[in-house]
Copies of this chain bind each other. A is one copy, B any other.
């Protein structure tokens, strides 16, 4: 019996609990490696992108209110992937919507945000050579752009002064590559 056979879990049955605007909740009955059964609750998500946008040694960040945590955050621009949209095109669109800028895009990394309960995948891009080419923001999105010196952003990422994983991780990943 190889490792994969020892660890993997098999879906027996499942139901969609909720199908929303943003996410779908499923509850599956699964067969465990030891032959017993359990339930797994899974949030299905379309995937997302986030962008480190650099201009003149500064990074463009967005201040916004995050309803789930009931507080304002300062994050790198980010958003959900639309149906049939590529991560690259999503990155270009989200950066234009949230900051007004269009730039060259380079993929820095891809990871699962929290694979214990969701399949959400996050692609981090580095944007450079920015030119002004805005798109309107979403109707229900309210944000303010802030420019932060890159050295300051790096210090704040290392000292855990930003509040979300993709922002800290994105800044640290880009620092390894530029």
Contact = CB atoms under 8 A, between A and B. Distances in A.
A88 to B, nearest CB: 16
Contacts of A172: 169, 172-173
What DSSP secondary structure best describes chain A's contact surface?
mixed
Copies of this protein, total: 2
B3 A163 contact: no
Classify chain A: how many residues form its interface, as a range.
35 or more
Interface in A13-34: 17-18, 20-23, 25, 27-28, 30, 32-34
A166 B32 CA distance: 25
A120 interface: yes
Contacts of A108: 160
